Amino acid sequence: MSKAWFMVGALAAGVAFASLPAGSACAQAAPPAEAAQPRDWQSLSPQQQDLLKGYRDSWGSLPPERQQSLARGSNRWLQMTPEQRTGAQQRFAQWRAMPPEQRQELRQRWQAFRRLPPEQQQHVRESFRQFKQIPQERRQELRRQWHQMSPEQRSRTIQQHRAQHPAGAHKPR
């Protein structure tokens, strides 16, 4: 997957969220999650332990949230196909190459996307799927136009799009 794909995905989530009223339920912080419980090293599968061997000596001192995150990530990795792993490695390399400000912006957009109701998330996904089907040259032109727009022009464009394509109009495939 290209950097453009990654950026457009984040942009799509940001665009969908950008015009929500500030006080809407989607724009408010997500409810606090329950505190993560510590995870014993031995509770990891041998394959997970092999992937996470660099953490073995410090595992017990890691915060429970980090332990849970590493365990989930290693489990996802083990379930990926070789092609999926290659794509994940490429995206991670792109992520590390980004300036910290850009990574922070993408984190915020992702969090905003996750706060959207499921039907709005699906609408964003469907819009992005349709965008990916457009020829590469046209996508580049659309990106260029978007970046040249003022915030007011972007807002009008979003409002026009929403009027033409209500969030519930797309059916998941």
pLDDT tens sequence across 75-117? 999 999 999 999 999 999 999 999 999 999 999 999 999 999 9
pLDDT recorded at residue 34: 63
Q: At residue 150, does pLDDT exceed 50? A: yes
Q: What total number of domains does the chain contain?
A: 1
Domain span at residue 141? 3-20+40-169
Q: Does any domain span residue 28?
A: no
* Best mean pLDDT range from 1-10, 11-20, 70-79: 70-79
Q: Does any domain span residue 107?
A: yes
Q: Which letter, b or e, does each residue of 61-79 get, where b requires 16 or more Cβ atoms within 10 Å of its Cβ?
A: eeeeeebeebbeebeeeee
The reply to whether the predicted model has a pTM over 0.95 is: no
pLDDT recorded at residue 11: 45
